[in-house]
Amino acid sequence: MIGPRIENPDGTLRPGMFIRAGIAVPTLHGAGVIPHATIGVGIFMAASLHATATLASCPYHEYQHSVFDRNLAHVDTTMVCEAGYYRLPAGPGLGVEPRASLWRYRMDA
């Protein structure tokens, strides 16, 4: 095989192309995929988790404890990472909704 054996795509860099270019194409060429844990409040992370959960060839997803766990306080979601496993967000849309605290935080920044 020529090229990387593991791809680490970031859905926030090209969200419109994330599934096709970041996940589907590498798997078609025999590369594994471990998506990058997006740095944010959790909306892009929810989208990334939903997308990667559809792929049998994607057994892992990057986890950034210093960002993911802290920022869950600013969203309503069932999404969590415990004991090395993610629980997919449930509910309408992506299963994540910003709380009022997020808007106060952003306006104070």
Express each pLDDT in 44-95 by its tens digit. 889 888 888 887 777 788 898 888 999 999 999 999 999 999 999 999 999 9
pLDDT at 29 over 70: no
Residue 16 has pLDDT above 60, yes or no: no
Cα separation of 45 and 81, whole Å?
12
Q: What's the pLDDT score for residue 72?
A: 93
In percent, the amount of the chain with pLDDT more than 70 equals 68
Find out whether 3 and 31 touch, Cβ atoms under 8 Å: yes
Average pLDDT value for the chain = 79
Q: Which domains does the chain have, with CATH numbers?
A: 6-108 (3.20.20.120)
Rounded to a whole number of angstroms, the CA Rg of the chain reads 15
Give the per-residue pLDDT at 21.
Answer: 55
Q: How many CB atoms lie within 10 A of CB 105?
A: 14
- pLDDT computed for residue 104 by the predictor: 80
This prediction's pTM? 0.76
